[in-house]
């Protein structure tokens, strides 16, 4: 038994009975199928694209809580109603193009629904980014990649709900900016791009309505387009006197148009609404926003029963808040486009 176990394998013999030198050199490893090599290469390429894909989300303290998944999964009671419904030929849709009429098939979202969808979209991206961060860039399996991509796909589905529910907002704003440079359809297309960008950048954790933030972003985009159109018309004007006169009419005016003034009023009204009641009262009185002459610190202190230094501190705090809200809304860019 020992001899049988330790005996060497027999050498292959040729047809003459002698050992075959070619066969006795050792067995040749079977060639790896070409399909397996292609699969490995495809996995490497997909892995590289997977880790190069940016995952941007709005951070929120709620994501670190123990019940974060429940908050991002449990919809409000309003979400039980269907988002789309059939619309008959009503006054709202009569005479509209098929695209515009289709917008009325999606109902508007309530504030609770809006917060839920934004929270869920960013929560899914947060989970995807965290899961990808735990993977090895050179050893991630196909199953792990598909799990993370599934979270991102679901986040895109929620994103499409938010976009579809706010497309009517773009149409209502675009009607006010139609001019010789851009048609209504072009403005709607450009406004949809601004809307998509706003959905990605909106900080839902502040508790504001998305329509307010999106309105600022879309109007800012339209103002830039209008300014760009005027500049192009001046640059490429021909020698025709009539066209030259048209270009000269677009020279900057030291006065703002009614649309620009209305936009600034909406800005400040929204900003003041975010202040505390006492802060709002002091700002309105100090700068004459209440229709009366501006009051001094001493006058407001006597009226509110505090010292004038306390009024100054409250005003300083309110101004800092207003400056932060103006920066977040990009007000400096909007006013800069008007100059």
For the question of whether the overall pTM of this predicted structure is more than 0.75, the answer is no
Examine residue 284 and state whether it is found in any structural domain, yes or no.
yes
Q: What are 120-176's pLDDT values in tens digits? A: 999 999 999 999 999 999 999 999 999 999 999 999 999 999 999 999 999 999 888
Per-residue tokens: 79: 């979400």
Q: Are 190 and 299 members of one domain? A: no
Written as tens digits, the pLDDT of the chain (339 aa) is 444 444 555 555 555 555 555 455 555 555 556 677 788 899 999 999 999 999 999 988 889 888 888 888 888 887 778 887 665 555 556 667 788 888 888 888 999 999 999 999 999 999 999 999 999 999 999 999 999 999 999 999 999 999 999 999 999 998 888 877 788 888 999 999 999 999 999 998 888 889 988 998 898 888 888 777 776 666 655 544 554 554 444 444 444 566 667 777 777 788 888 888 899 899 888 888 777 888 888 888 888 888 988 888 898 888 888 888 877 776 665 665 554
Q: Are 89 and 136 members of one domain? A: yes
Please give the distance of CA 267 from its chain centroid, rounded to a whole number. Answer: 21
Q: Which of 251, 274, 306 is the last residue of a domain?
A: 251
Q: Are 161 and 209 members of one domain? A: no
Specify whether the CB–CB gap between 144 and 135 falls below 8 A: yes
Q: Are 88 and 149 members of one domain? A: yes
Alpha-carbon distance 180 to 64, whole Å?
51
Alpha-carbon distance 308 to 297, whole Å?
5
Beta bridge partners of residue 13, listed in sequence order: 19
Q: Which of 165, 195, 230 is the last residue of a domain?
A: 165
Q: Are 292 and 279 members of one domain? A: yes
Q: Which of 228, 251, 274 is the last residue of a domain?
A: 251
Cα 71 to Cα 57, 236, 260, distances in angstroms: 17, 56, 40
Alpha-carbon distance 324 to 38, whole Å?
54
Question: Count of domains in the chain?
Answer: 3
Q: Are 259 and 216 members of one domain? A: no
Backbone angles phi, psi at 19, to 5 degrees: -60, 140
Alpha-carbon distance 288 to 300, whole Å?
12
Residue range(s) defining the domain that contains residue 215: 167-251
CATH code of the domain in which 291 resides: 1.10.10.10
Cα angle: 184, vertex 186, 190; to 5 degrees: 115
Q: Are 178 and 202 members of one domain? A: yes
Output the pLDDT for position 25.
Answer: 53
Examine residue 219 and state whether it is found in any structural domain, yes or no.
yes
Containing 158, the helix (H) or strand (E) segment is helix 142-165
Specify whether the CB–CB gap between 224 and 337 falls below 8 A: yes
């Amino acid at each position: 038994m020992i001899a049988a176990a330790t005996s060497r394998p027999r050498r292959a013999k040729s047809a003459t009975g002698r050992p075959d030198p070619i066969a006795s050199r050792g067995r040749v490893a079977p060639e790896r199928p070409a399909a397996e090599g292609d699969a490995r290469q495809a996995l490497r390429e997909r892995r590289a694209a997977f880790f190069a894909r940016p995952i941007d989300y709005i951070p929120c303290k709620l994501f670190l809580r123990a019940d974060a998944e429940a908050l991002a999964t449990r919809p409000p009671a309003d979400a039980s109603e269907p988002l789309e419904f059939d619309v008959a030929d009503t006054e709202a849709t009569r005479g509209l193009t098929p695209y515009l009429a289709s917008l009325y098939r999606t109902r508007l979202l309530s504030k609770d629904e809006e917060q839920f969808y934004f929270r869920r979209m960013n929560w899914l991206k947060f989970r995807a980014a965290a899961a990808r961060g735990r993977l090895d860039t050179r050893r991630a399996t196909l199953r792990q990649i598909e799990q993370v991509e599934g979270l991102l796909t679901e986040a895109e589905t929620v994103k499409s709900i938010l976009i579809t529910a706010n497309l009517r907002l773009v149409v209502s704003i675009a009607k006010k900016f139609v001019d010789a440079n851009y048609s209504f359809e072009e403005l709607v297309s450009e406004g949809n791009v601004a809307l998509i960008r706003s959905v990605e950048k909106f900080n839902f954790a502040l508790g504001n309505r998305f329509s307010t933030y999106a309105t600022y972003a879309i109007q800012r985009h339209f103002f830039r387009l209008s300014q760009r159109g005027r500049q192009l018309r001046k640059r490429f004007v021909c020698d025709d006197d009539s066209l030259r006169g048209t270009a000269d009419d677009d020279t900057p005016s030291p006065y703002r148009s009614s649309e620009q003034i209305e936009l600034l009023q909406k800005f400040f009204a929204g900003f003041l609404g975010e202040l505390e009641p006492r802060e709002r009262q002091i700002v309105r009185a100090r700068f004459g926003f209440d229709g009366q002459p501006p009051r001094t610190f001493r006058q407001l202190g006597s009226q509110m029963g505090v010292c004038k230094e306390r009024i100054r501190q409250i005003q300083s705090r309110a101004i800092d808040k207003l400056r932060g809200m103006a920066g977040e809304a990009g007000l400096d860019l909007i006013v800069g486009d008007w100059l």
